[in-house]
Structure 1
């Protein structure tokens, strides 16, 4: 049975996908079976609109095993995560979480165990959205207090945008190659180069 790893890297904090690639390797999953959406919000971008997730659903249309770090990699919204997981369950997919070893088996036939499985899924989906909203609210409060105190300078870039532009001007390279060179996500490099285009317009 084919095992596929799915990961997602947020647009926040200049995250990279390195830890999730390492997680996949630790699970013995070949790189060809690893799909990671980079620079994608789990709250604002539904799975159906992500390029790599579309590969996952296509490859699991007849069942298989989906490995994720945790369910929030699929979505941080209750409705989206709940609907996506139910769709996978109906296809007979087994979803395994490497963070704590939890598994949700789409091939379960016992009515009681299915009910328990679905109840846990619903709870985890609701908790994921609540955690996200709470964290964003706390961040907003912290920023507001920092602004009032005159200490807020905005979020620090994960990499010096000017350095990225200078490097590309001298050496060239695709967005992905630049991301690997600077050790940041693709979205970060895209923002750095977009800044150049906006300045030149």
Structure 2
């Protein structure tokens, strides 16, 4: 049975997928069966709109095992996580979370066990979205307080945005090539271009 690992990293600045690659290796999953979307929000970008997730869905269309660190790697939105998991369950996929060993088996036929599985899934999906919203709200409050006290200066830019724009225009380079040239993530280059 095919075992696939899916990971997601929200930002390219400061976060890496290294821990998720290590998690996959610890589960005995070959690198060829690891799909990680980098620089992708689990709240703002639906799974179906992610490049690596599309490979996962294609490869699991006839069942198999999907291994994730935690369900929030799939989505941090209740409705999206719930519908994505139900789609996987309907194909007989078993989803395994390495963080706590929880399993959601799409091949389950016992109605009571299916009901328990779906109830736990619904709770985890709701908790994931609530955690995300709470964290964002607390961050915004902290920034407001720091601004009022004159302590908040904003995030320091990793590179000079004008320099990034000039080099990209001069070279006719792609966003990814520009990011590699400056040693930053594509999100940083996108912010530099948006500031024009």
- TM-score, normalization by structure 1: 0.84
Distance 1:59 1:152, change over 3 A: same
Query: CA RMSD for the aligned pairs?
Result: 2.9
Distance 1:13 1:113 in 2: 42
Distance 1:139 1:13 in 2: 18
Question: Which residue in the other structure is 1:93 paired with?
Answer: 93
Contact 2:13 2:185 in 1 (8 A): no
Question: Which residue in the other structure is 2:111 paired with?
Answer: 111
Higher relative contact order (CA 8 A, sep 6+): 1
Any gaps of 5 or more consecutive residues in structure 2?
Answer: none
Distance 2:36 2:68 in 1: 10
The alignment of Structure 1 onto Structure 2 pairs a total of residues equal to 192
Distance 2:138 2:100 in 1: 26
Question: Which residue in the other structure is 1:185 paired with?
Answer: none
Deviation at 1:176? 7.3
The ranges of structure 1 where at least 4 consecutive aligned residues each deviate by more than 4 angstroms after the TM superposition are 162-165, 176-179, 194-199
Say which of 185, 189, 193 aligns to 1:193: 189
SS at match of 1:52: helix
Distance 1:40 1:79, change over 3 A: same
SS at match of 1:161: coil
Distance 1:193 1:138 in 2: 27
Distance 1:153 1:122, change over 3 A: same
Question: Which residue in the other structure is 2:65 paired with?
Answer: 65
- TM-score, normalization by structure 2: 0.86
SS at match of 2:185: helix
Is 1:11 matched with 2:11? Answer: yes
